[in-house]
Structure 1
Amino acid sequence: MAWVVLVLSGMLEAVWATALSASENFTRKRPTVVFALSLTLSMVGLAWAMTSLPTGTAYAVWVGIGATLTVVWGFFTGAERFTWLRGLLLVLLVGSVVGLKVVS
């Protein structure tokens, strides 16, 4: 169960990072509210998952999921330029996250 909460919290990290950018320095109400809610839920989920998972592993998985999804969202929306090297590095990042789970 902790792994499911951790993955969902990592996904929410991508949501709050994207909403933070869209808030334009907290001047836009909707993205600011999405940022605050997703940040809170992401942190609560991470904290809860850390009660039964090793802190270093939980944090690395959380960051890896959030960073990967944020970059992929950037590719999808055109905010980030896709290159094969960036794609390969994201595959390596995801592989490292999966590897951390496997060896835990």
Structure 2
Amino acid sequence: MAWVLLILAGLFEIGWAIGLKYTNGFTAPMPTALTVIAMIISVVLLGLAVRDLPIGTAYAVWTGIGTVGTVILGMVLFGDPATIIRLTCITMIVAGILGLKFLSPA
């Protein structure tokens, strides 16, 4: 269950990171509210996950999910560059996340 919570926390991290783009510097009320709610949910779920997972593993996986998802959505939604180097780096992050998942004691 801790891994499910951690994955959900990572997905909400993607949500708030992408949401930042839509807040227009926190001047757009609805995107700002949704972004702040996603931030809170993400951190709460991370906090619940670390009850059963090592903090270093959980934090690395949480930020990794957020990083990969945000980079990919940046490419899809905002036209961020999708170079071979960027895609290779994303692949390495995913490999690290999977390594931590499958080699973690919890």
Structure-2-length-normalised TM-score: 0.95
SS in 2 for 1:81: coil
Deviations 1:40-92 (A, max 9, x none): 10000000000110000000000000010000001111341110110011011
Structure 1: 5+ residue runs without aligned partners?
A: none
Moved over 4 A (4+): none
Would you say 1:15 and 2:15 are equivalent positions? yes
What does residue 6 of structure 2 align with? 6
Specify the code of the residue in structure 2 equivalent to 1:12. F
1:1-104 aligned at under 5 Å gives the runs 1-104=1-104
Aligned residues: 104
Distance in 1 separating the partners of 2:29 and 2:79: 21
CA-based RMSD:
0.8
Between 1:28-37 and 1:51-60, the stretch displaced more is 28-37
* Secondary structure in 1 matching 2:80: coil
